[in-house]
Amino acid sequence: MLGRFSIRFRLTAWYSLSLAVVLGLLAVASYFAMRASMYRAVDVDLRFSLAGVAQFLKSQQGSTLSELPDEIGRKSTLGVLFQIFDDQGKLVYQSDGLASHHIKPVAPTASGTAIVYRETGPEGWPVRLAAQRVTFRGQPIVVEVAQPMRFHYASLREFATSLLISLPLLVVIAAFVGYWLSGRALAPVNRIVEDARAIDSHRLSQRLSVPAAHDELRRLSETLNSMLDRIEVSVTRIKQFTADASHELRAPVTLIQAAAEYTLRRERTREELVEAMEKILRESRRTSQLIDSLLLLARADADEEVLQPAPVCVDSVLRDAVDRAREFAAGKNIRLAAAISEDALHVNGEAALLERLFFVLIENGIKYTPENGSVSVALRSSPDEVVVEVSDTGIGIAPEDLPHVFDRFWRADKARSREMGGTGLGLSIAKWIVEKSGGTIRVESAVGHGSKFEIRFPKLQNDRTLTTSQS
């Protein structure tokens, strides 16, 4: 119900409510404690009076029970309100003070020697009485002393009234103080809200102000700021990717358009037409390859390309990739050597994607190796890893370029890559496939000497493979 209100209001409401409950319980407890201690004090007084009267009766052993009232009247030094009943419950004596309180002379039910307490008296004149059986000249009688309770009750009522007035007052004061305090404590939240409102996709570099105090709100703004850092990096990367993708797509389309317009400008011989068509076909193939890579990366980013991890026989997939690349290598007069372990080695992954990964690496090796060079492919395994190595004797990669080779659209030499039909996306797709298969990829290279790409996959044990394929 309180959910509709501000945190400040809810905090104050809960705080005031709990304070009211605690103070209420405290007030009830202190009222009853006060009442109990009042009764205790009265009862102590009554017991003293009883002892006094008993002492007096002992000193009067010379008189009979019927002479007793006169004796008491004569001495009347006790100053105590009391009454005496005989064994039959008949009133023998009642002190004047007690009579003036209009106490009915009804005998208490005192038996044995235990003190019996009771409260009686007309409206407005309550008294508390304590009775005890004693013997007077061998005859059992009941002595009962009294204490007026009027003033005690009045002070108890006064105490209750002051509690009833001060308690709500205290809660109201505490609520105001609490409201003010929670306002102060929550002030940084308003600042965070204002800062957050000012941030949009055009002002992603702005950050929330961080409160000075080392508290939860500081942690909150720091956490939100680091989240904004990550969002900014991703948005910048997406913007860069979109810009690069449009640029890359525009280049072949412009080339296709230019080739078509140039050819149509005048009558062309059959050879000229074939040449133009081949150029257009080459660029269309490149465009469709680029679109294909872009789609794969877009799905990878959206996490749509969910791999159905199944045990894949890496050796046969690697052999297929090598066979596919043979013609390309032969065309460039490059020796393509493969040392692939005869054992059936299994990793978790998707065969088509793994073949694409191996092909990208082998094709790159061939592309970036001058004629008469060589590219070697090796597959080996350790007890828990399957390692694939693709090395070449090509142009190599400069040390400062190594950290960028897996970036999207990054190419050491744009013109050269384009000329070879490259899109700058091969290695970023390769890295994604490796990571999705639970592996790692790294590259070593020396300019002018060649490069070596090494991929490590967690190895699936054969018995596990059998179980999986049987299930």
- Residues near 398 by beta carbon (within 8 Å), at least 6 away in sequence: 412, 447
- The minimum distance between CB 376 and ligand ADP, in angstroms, equals 12
- Segment lying near ligand ADP (by CB under 6 A), choices 106-114, 143-151, 329-337, 357-365: 357-365
Single residue of 417, 434, 457, 460 touching ligand ADP by CB under 6 A: 417
Mark 315-344 with x for binding to ligand ADP (rule: CB under 6 A) and - for no binding.
Answer: ------------------------------
C-beta of 315 vs 392, nearer to ligand ADP: 392
- Residues near 284 by beta carbon (within 8 Å), at least 6 away in sequence: 252, 256
C-beta of 91 vs 402, nearer to ligand ADP: 402
Interactions with ligand ADP, residue window 158-177 (CB under 6 A): none
Handedness of CA 105, 108, 109, 113 (dihedral sign): negative
C-beta of 178 vs 396, nearer to ligand ADP: 396
Q: What is the enclosing helix (H) or strand (E) of 280?
A: helix 270-301
Interactions with ligand ADP, residue window 358-397 (CB under 6 A): 360, 364-365, 368, 392, 394-397
- The minimum distance between CB 280 and ligand ADP, in angstroms, equals 21
Q: Can you spell out the DSSP letters for 132-201?
A: EEEEETTEEEEEEEEEE-HHHHHHHHHHHHHHHHHHHHHHHHHHHHHHHHHHHHHHHHHHHHHHHHT--G
Q: Residue 21: what residue type?
A: V
Single residue of 19, 34, 310, 412 touching ligand ADP by CB under 6 A: 412
Contact status, residue 355 vs residue 319, Cβ threshold 8 Å: no
C-beta of 211 vs 424, nearer to ligand ADP: 424
| Size (the chain), residues | 471
DSSP label of 459: P
By CB under 6 A, how many residues form the interface with ligand ADP? 23
C-beta of 11 vs 360, nearer to ligand ADP: 360
- The minimum distance between CB 325 and ligand ADP, in angstroms, equals 13
- Segment lying near ligand ADP (by CB under 6 A), choices 2-10, 193-201, 296-304, 418-426: 418-426
C-beta of 132 vs 445, nearer to ligand ADP: 445
Cα–Cα nearest to 131, from 105, 113, 158, 151: 113
**Of all residues in the chain, what percent are helix, strand and coil, respectively (each to 5)?**
55, 15, 25
- The minimum distance between CB 381 and ligand ADP, in angstroms, equals 23
Q: Does 188 bind ligand ADP (CB under 6 A)?
A: no
- The minimum distance between CB 284 and ligand ADP, in angstroms, equals 17
Q: Can you spell out the DSSP letters for 23-64?
A: HHHHHHHHHHHHHHHHHHHHHHHHHHHHHHHHHHHHTTTTS-
Cα–Cα nearest to 215, from 241, 189, 196, 234: 189
- The minimum distance between CB 450 and ligand ADP, in angstroms, equals 7
C-beta of 168 vs 421, nearer to ligand ADP: 421
- Segment lying near ligand ADP (by CB under 6 A), choices 67-75, 265-273, 376-384, 412-420: 412-420
- The minimum distance between CB 351 and ligand ADP, in angstroms, equals 21
Single residue of 49, 376, 451, 465 touching ligand ADP by CB under 6 A: 451
- Segment lying near ligand ADP (by CB under 6 A), choices 19-27, 275-283, 313-321, 404-412: 404-412
Mark 427-446 with x for binding to ligand ADP (rule: CB under 6 A) and - for no binding.
Answer: xx------------------
- The minimum distance between CB 406 and ligand ADP, in angstroms, equals 7
- The minimum distance between CB 357 and ligand ADP, in angstroms, equals 11
C-beta of 250 vs 416, nearer to ligand ADP: 416
- The minimum distance between CB 424 and ligand ADP, in angstroms, equals 4
Distance of CA 213 to the CA centre of its chain: 21
Q: Calculate helix-pair angle for 7-58, 150-197, nearest 10 degrees.
A: 160
Q: What is the enclosing helix (H) or strand (E) of 337?
A: strand 335-340
The whole-angstrom separation of Cα 99 and Cα 305 is 104
The tokens for 200 are: 């949009």
Single residue of 121, 178, 188, 426 touching ligand ADP by CB under 6 A: 426
Q: Calculate helix-pair angle for 270-301, 216-264, nearest 10 degrees.
A: 170
Contact status, residue 387 vs residue 380, Cβ threshold 8 Å: yes
Contact status, residue 199 vs residue 231, Cβ threshold 8 Å: no
Residues in contact with ligand ADP by the rule CB under 6 A? 360, 364-365, 368, 392, 394-397, 405, 410-413, 417, 422-428, 451
